[in-house]
Protein backbone atom coordinates (compact mmCIF):
# COMPACT_ATOMS: atom_id res chain seq x y z
CA UNK A 1 0.00 0.00 0.00
CA UNK A 2 2.81 2.41 0.82
CA UNK A 3 4.41 1.87 -2.59
CA UNK A 4 1.14 2.84 -4.32
CA UNK A 5 0.89 6.08 -2.36
CA UNK A 6 4.59 6.85 -2.90
CA UNK A 7 4.25 6.32 -6.65
CA UNK A 8 1.17 8.52 -6.82
CA UNK A 9 2.81 11.37 -4.90
CA UNK A 10 5.90 11.08 -7.12
CA UNK A 11 3.73 11.35 -10.21
CA UNK A 12 1.92 14.42 -8.88
CA UNK A 13 5.25 16.05 -8.03
CA UNK A 14 6.62 15.34 -11.50
CA UNK A 15 3.48 16.63 -13.19
CA UNK A 16 3.61 19.91 -11.26
CA UNK A 17 7.33 20.22 -12.05
CA UNK A 18 6.61 19.71 -15.75
CA UNK A 19 3.96 22.43 -15.70
CA UNK A 20 6.40 24.89 -14.08
CA UNK A 21 9.13 24.31 -16.70
CA UNK A 22 11.05 27.57 -17.05
CA UNK A 23 12.69 27.34 -20.47
CA UNK A 24 11.83 24.92 -23.25
CA UNK A 25 14.04 24.07 -26.20
CA UNK A 26 12.13 26.37 -28.58
CA UNK A 27 12.54 29.35 -26.24
CA UNK A 28 16.21 28.50 -25.76
CA UNK A 29 16.83 28.45 -29.52
CA UNK A 30 14.94 31.73 -29.99
CA UNK A 31 17.10 33.37 -27.33
CA UNK A 32 20.28 32.00 -28.90
CA UNK A 33 19.32 33.20 -32.41
CA UNK A 34 18.34 36.63 -31.05
CA UNK A 35 21.64 36.84 -29.22
CA UNK A 36 23.55 35.96 -32.40
CA UNK A 37 21.58 38.49 -34.48
CA UNK A 38 22.06 41.33 -32.00
CA UNK A 39 25.66 40.79 -30.98
CA UNK A 40 28.19 43.60 -31.06
CA UNK A 41 30.14 43.36 -34.36
CA UNK A 42 33.21 44.75 -32.60
CA UNK A 43 33.01 42.08 -29.90
CA UNK A 44 31.28 38.99 -31.39
CA UNK A 45 30.46 35.89 -29.41
CA UNK A 46 33.47 33.66 -29.04
CA UNK A 47 33.36 30.05 -30.24
CA UNK A 48 33.88 28.88 -26.67
CA UNK A 49 30.75 30.73 -25.49
CA UNK A 50 28.73 29.45 -28.44
CA UNK A 51 29.82 25.85 -27.81
CA UNK A 52 28.91 26.24 -24.13
CA UNK A 53 25.42 27.37 -25.03
CA UNK A 54 25.03 24.53 -27.52
CA UNK A 55 26.11 22.09 -24.80
CA UNK A 56 23.44 23.57 -22.51
CA UNK A 57 20.87 23.15 -25.27
CA UNK A 58 21.90 19.52 -25.76
CA UNK A 59 21.62 18.93 -22.00
CA UNK A 60 18.14 20.48 -22.01
CA UNK A 61 17.01 18.15 -24.80
CA UNK A 62 18.39 15.10 -23.01
CA UNK A 63 16.73 16.09 -19.73
CA UNK A 64 13.38 16.54 -21.48
CA UNK A 65 13.76 13.14 -23.12
CA UNK A 66 14.64 11.55 -19.78
CA UNK A 67 11.65 13.23 -18.15
CA UNK A 68 9.32 11.85 -20.83
CA UNK A 69 10.78 8.37 -20.42
CA UNK A 70 10.44 8.51 -16.62
CA UNK A 71 6.81 9.64 -16.90
CA UNK A 72 6.04 6.66 -19.14
CA UNK A 73 7.85 4.34 -16.73
CA UNK A 74 5.82 5.63 -13.78
CA UNK A 75 2.57 5.19 -15.73
CA UNK A 76 3.50 1.59 -16.56
CA UNK A 77 4.48 0.97 -12.94
CA UNK A 78 1.12 2.29 -11.72
CA UNK A 79 -0.69 0.12 -14.25
CA UNK A 80 1.28 -2.90 -13.09
CA UNK A 81 0.46 -2.17 -9.44
CA UNK A 82 -3.20 -1.74 -10.29
CA UNK A 83 -3.18 -4.96 -12.32
CA UNK A 84 -1.78 -6.84 -9.34
CA UNK A 85 -4.90 -5.85 -7.39
CA UNK A 86 -7.28 -7.68 -9.74
CA UNK A 87 -8.97 -10.45 -7.77
CA UNK A 88 -7.96 -8.99 -4.40
CA UNK A 89 -10.30 -7.60 -1.79
CA UNK A 90 -9.88 -3.88 -1.07
CA UNK A 91 -11.43 -1.08 0.93
CA UNK A 92 -11.94 2.11 -1.06
CA UNK A 93 -13.32 5.50 -0.12
CA UNK A 94 -16.25 6.57 -2.29
CA UNK A 95 -15.57 10.28 -2.77
CA UNK A 96 -19.21 11.00 -3.66
CA UNK A 97 -20.79 9.42 -0.58
CA UNK A 98 -17.86 9.48 1.85
CA UNK A 99 -18.49 5.81 2.63
CA UNK A 100 -15.89 3.07 2.73
CA UNK A 101 -16.69 0.34 0.22
CA UNK A 102 -15.29 -3.18 0.51
CA UNK A 103 -15.16 -5.48 -2.48
CA UNK A 104 -13.07 -7.43 -4.96
CA UNK A 105 -11.19 -5.61 -7.71
CA UNK A 106 -12.70 -6.94 -10.95
CA UNK A 107 -10.74 -4.97 -13.54
CA UNK A 108 -8.43 -2.02 -14.19
CA UNK A 109 -9.14 0.83 -16.59
CA UNK A 110 -6.72 3.54 -17.68
CA UNK A 111 -8.10 7.03 -18.17
CA UNK A 112 -5.70 9.89 -18.97
CA UNK A 113 -2.76 7.74 -17.80
CA UNK A 114 -4.49 7.27 -14.45
CA UNK A 115 -5.33 3.65 -13.61
CA UNK A 116 -8.73 3.11 -12.04
CA UNK A 117 -9.96 -0.06 -10.36
CA UNK A 118 -13.50 -1.41 -10.62
CA UNK A 119 -15.03 -2.56 -7.33
CA UNK A 120 -18.69 -3.62 -7.07
CA UNK A 121 -19.28 -2.31 -10.61
CA UNK A 122 -17.99 1.21 -9.91
CA UNK A 123 -14.68 2.79 -10.89
CA UNK A 124 -12.37 4.23 -8.24
CA UNK A 125 -9.08 6.06 -8.50
CA UNK A 126 -6.02 4.35 -7.07
CA UNK A 127 -5.91 7.25 -4.57
CA UNK A 128 -9.17 6.06 -3.04
CA UNK A 129 -7.72 2.72 -1.89
CA UNK A 130 -7.58 2.64 1.89
CA UNK A 131 -6.63 -0.97 2.47
CA UNK A 132 -5.79 -4.17 0.61
CA UNK A 133 -7.21 -7.16 2.46
CA UNK A 134 -6.02 -10.76 2.58
CA UNK A 135 -8.20 -13.32 0.85
CA UNK A 136 -10.53 -15.13 3.20
Q: Could you read off the pLDDT tens digit of each residue along the chain, which spans 136 residues?
A: 444 544 444 444 444 444 445 667 788 778 778 887 888 778 877 778 878 888 888 888 899 999 999 998 988 898 898 899 999 999 999 989 999 999 999 999 987 778 899 999 999 998 899 999 987 6
pLDDT of residue 89: 95
Which structural domains are found in the chain, ordered by start?
A: 2-133 (2.30.30.30)
Cα→Cα distances 15→70, 93, 122, Å: 11, 24, 27
pLDDT of residue 105: 94
14 SS3 class:
helix
Largest CA distance in the chain: 82
Nearest to 125 by CA among 88, 64, 82, 62: 82
Amino acid sequence: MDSIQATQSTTLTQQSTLQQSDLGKDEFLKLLVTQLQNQNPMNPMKNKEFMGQMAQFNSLQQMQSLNTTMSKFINYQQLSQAGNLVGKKVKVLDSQTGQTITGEVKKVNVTDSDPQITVNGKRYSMNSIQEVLAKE
